[in-house]
Chains A and B, each alone.
Chain A
Amino acid sequence: ETGVTQTPRHLVMGMTNKKSLKCEQHLGHNAMYWYKQSAKKPLELMFVYSLEERVENNSVPSRFSPECPNSSHLFLHLHTLQPEDSALYLCASSRDVSSYNEQFFGPGTRLTVL
């Protein structure tokens, strides 16, 4: 409904698995973001992409690997995750990375790491 879609909506994985989260925006935006939302914590920005170029990496462990093949698609590749990585992972987009742009969020992927 917001023009940002995410798949899968739910994911359960073991610590040795490799999986990928996908995000697609249909809004013609140039900036895309990955956020992590855990219980009782603020939304945490993970990565920012501007026109397919990563412009911000917020000290995220290397077991999270983002990929932005074009301005409409964003992936988050996951490998050897830990149980504490269980969270809601939200993708968002905005017109560009200039300040004061509202961000449009996707529905999120609920990730459980066993």
Chain B
Amino acid sequence: GQQVMQIPQYQHVQEGEDFTTYCNSSTTLSNIQWYKQRPGGHPVFLIQLVKSGEVKKQKRLTFQFGEAKKNSSLHITATQTTDVGTYFCATNTGANSKLTFGKGITLSVRP
């Protein structure tokens, strides 16, 4: 079935550094959703991308959908300790709004 891959699973950055992570697929995706899960918390929806090449920004977060709709990126400018958590990408596959999630990348930020 359609899968989305997130590698690596962990990344550590110094506060103030930029951070970029990717979500990749071998097949064309209908959409990409990004979720954030804080430690001990639950996934919270961040953004959805649908169009080829689409770019959306939320404060220090920039999300992009690849031109071929096979990958997506999440870029955080000047990371802060509040950015700590696991970032998941997900895509709708099949019927019934089924979301297939990547394994996520856990970001830690050194103050």
Contacts and interface: CB of A to CB of B under 8 A. Distances in A.
B100 to A, nearest CB: 8
B97 interface: yes
Given A102-B33, A107-B42, A97 B101 contact: no
Contacts of A107: 41-42
A90 B42 CA distance: 8
Contacts of A90: 42-43
Given A90-B42, A100-B48, A42 B96 contact: no
A94 B92 CA distance: 13
B101 A99 contact: no
Q: State the majority secondary structure of interface residues on A.
A: loop
Contact of B48 (A42, A102, A104, A105): A102
Contact of B96 (A2, A48, A108): A48
On chain A, which size bracket covers the interface? Answer: 20 to 34
On chain B, which size bracket covers the interface? Answer: 20 to 34
Contacts, number: 64
A101 interface: yes
B97 A96 contact: yes
Interface string B27-57: 0001101000000011111001010000000
20 contacts: A2-B42, A42-B102, A42-B103, A43-B88, A43-B90, A43-B99, A45-B98, A45-B100, A48-B98, A55-B96, A98-B97, A99-B97, A100-B31, A100-B48, A100-B97, A101-B97, A102-B33, A102-B48, A105-B43, A105-B44
Interface of B: 9, 30-31, 33, 41-45, 48, 50, 88, 90, 92, 95-104
Interface of A: 2, 31, 40-43, 45, 48, 50, 55-56, 90, 94, 96-108
